[in-house]
Amino acid sequence: MTTAVILDLDGVLITTPNWRADKIHDDGYSDFDHDCVANFKYLLELLNVDTQLWLSSSRRTTKTKAEFDTIFANRGIKKPLTGFLPIPKSRIKRSEEIKAFLTSQQLDYYMILDDDSSLESLSNLQKKNWIRTKPLIGFDKAKLQEARDIIAHWKIGNTK
C-alpha cells in the first residue's frame, strides 16, 4: 500500500501573518508553529512508516531536499521528505500542480495539507483527501481530527 502526505508549509506549519516577517529559527530558516508541528508529528506517528512525504510549498524552490530535511529535523520532525512536487516551468495554480502529481503517481492513499483556495478546483474525490487549513491557525487539533477521519476511511478501504 502506497500512502503519501502532500505538504504545504505556509498556513500549515508556518502561521506567521503575511504582513509580518517570519520569526527565524536558530538555523536561520523560518520557525514553524510549535502546536502545528506537534499535531503534524502525531499525524506522522499514526501513518505507516513507509508513508511518503512530498513538499508542495512554493518554498521548495529555495532549498534542496537535504536542506529541508535538516530544517524539519531541527524542528523535531524526523521523517525525511520523499521529495518535492515537480516545479513547473511556468507559474500555475497549486491545484494544477497537485492534479498533475496525482496523475503521475501510483498512490493508494494520499492526504493534502494546504490552505490554498485553488484546491477547490480539485475533483470531489481529491477534495475528500484535502485538509484545508486556515493561514493564521495552521494544522491545529481540529485539522488533526480531520486527518484521523481520513485515515480511518483508508483502513476500511472507502477512500482511494
Query: Alpha-carbon distance 4 to 109, whole Å?
Result: 6
Q: What CA dihedral angle connects 142, 32, 2 and 134, to 10 degrees? A: 40
Tell me: pLDDT of 39 over 60.
yes
pLDDT of residue 16: 95
pLDDT of residue 156: 53
80-136 confidence digits (pLDDT tens)? 999 999 988 888 899 999 999 999 998 999 999 999 999 999 999 999 999 999 999
Cell triple for 79: 521523517
Q: Do 12 and 133 contact (CB within 8 A), yes or no?
A: yes
> Residue range 7-36: average pLDDT?
96
Query: Alpha-carbon distance 3 to 134, whole Å?
Result: 24
Q: Interhelix angle for 34-46 vs 141-156, to 10°? A: 10
49-84 confidence digits (pLDDT tens)? 899 999 999 999 999 999 999 999 999 999 999 999
126-160 confidence digits (pLDDT tens)? 999 999 999 999 999 999 999 999 999 886 544 44
Q: How many residues does the chain have?
A: 160
Query: Alpha-carbon distance 77 to 69, whole Å?
Result: 9
pLDDT of residue 89: 81
pLDDT of residue 48: 79
pLDDT of residue 158: 44
pLDDT of residue 159: 40
Question: Pick from 56, 58, 16: which is nearest to 34 by CA?
Answer: 16
SS3 (DSSP) at 114: strand
Beta strand 52-55 pairing with 130-132: unpaired
